[in-house]
Amino acid sequence: MPRQSLVAANWKMNGDLAGIRELVGEISTGVEPDASTEVLICAPYVYLPEMQRLLVDTPIKWGAQNVSEFEKGAYTGEISVSMLKDFGCEFVIVGHSERRHVFGESDQQVAAKFNVVNKAGLTPILCLGELLEERQGGTTEEVISRQLNEALNCAGIESFENAVIAYEPVWAIGTGHTATPEQAEEVHAFIRLQLARHSDEIADRIKILYGGSVKADNAAELFSRADIDGGLIGGASLVASDFLTICQSTR
Ligand code: 13P
């Protein structure tokens, strides 16, 4: 069976209440319900109640960009997975490169977050990706394996039954230097192969998204590759017409 595609917006720390209402209005009016493609918006925490209000009767899902690895307690400023559930989130991005490289999240911490989201019955979107110097140094596969194995060791292969992976080469994020479809496909196929060492079925079923300067004019070519099941979209998801074009590029 062909895998369903997923196009996910990662708004990062952008927007305000009025702007978000306008953007959601434009996106939800323009999205054509389509069983072959799921559409998701990952909004800043404080706007999640509003996302629930605006999207509850639409085919569009909403989710968070991060979560605490802890269940509850004295963790000032953190948000737990049960809080996200209260507002209808179904997806949570974990281990985005900005969390890893700007906020110093370790592979272990990301794996713990992956586990917490999974155990709560939400779908983690586990981000993996190498830095420019790692690609240039020929260690891309080593880095991807290390990041993936940490989650596998912590949560087990079964947890990938309800998970999404996003390959986001750090050098492609927000830079306009999109990975070529060949470069992306090569890493996606590698990730699927790593999972197949544990379970062919899970490797075959899991969605692997590409992220990093996906735009309206390059999405279709990326999404046409065998192992690329959609995208995690930053900048272009803040412009409704661009995001809608990207959503339609899965076909
Ligand atoms: P850009 O699409 O802005 O490069 O961001 C990609 C990203 O980080 C999505 O999570």
Residue 79 has pLDDT above 80, yes or no: yes
The whole-model pTM stands at 0.98
Nearest CA to ligand 1 atom 5: 234
**What is the predicted pLDDT for the residue at 2?**
85
129 three-class SS: coil
Tell me the CATH number at 195. Answer: 3.20.20.70
Nearest CA to ligand 1 atom 1: 234
Give the confidence band of 71 by pLDDT, cuts at 50, 70, 90: very high
Catalytic hit among 69, 105, 130, 168: 168
Q: Mark whether 142 is an active-site residue.
A: no
DSSP state of 90: -
Across residues 223-237, what is the average pLDDT? 98
Helix (H) or strand (E) holding 112: helix 107-119
Q: Tell me the best of 168, 243, 249 to mutate to test the pocket of ligand 1, counting ligand atoms within 8 Å of each CB and taking the most.
A: 168
Residues 94, 62, 162, 208: what is their CA dihedral angle, to the nearest 10 degrees?
Answer: -70
Domain hosting 220: range is 5-248
Residue 135 tokens, joined: 């690609």
- Buried b / exposed e over 197-231, threshold 16 CB at 10 Å, is eeeeebbeebbbbbbbbbbbebbeebbebebbbbb
Please give all residues whose beta carbon lies within 6 A of any atom in ligand 1, as ranges.
10, 96, 168, 173-174, 211-214, 232-236
Q: Mark whether 96 is an active-site residue.
A: yes
Long-range (24+ apart) CB contacts under 8 A made by 156-161 are 157/195, 157/198, 157/199, 157/202, 159/114, 159/115, 159/118, 160/195, 160/199, 160/202, 160/206, 161/202, 161/205
Across residues 24-50, what is the average pLDDT? 95
Question: Could you give the number of structural domains in the chain?
Answer: 1
Q: What is the tens place of the pLDDT at every residue in 187-216? A: 999 999 999 999 999 999 999 999 999 999
Q: Please state, for a pLDDT cut of 70, what percent of the chain lies above it.
A: 100
Average of per-residue pLDDT values in the chain: 97
How many A from CA of 73 to the centre of ligand 1? 32
Across residues 122-151, what is the average pLDDT? 98
**What is the predicted pLDDT for the residue at 35?**
83
Residue 1 has pLDDT above 80, yes or no: no
Q: What is the tens place of the pLDDT at every residue in 85-107? A: 999 999 999 999 999 999 999 99
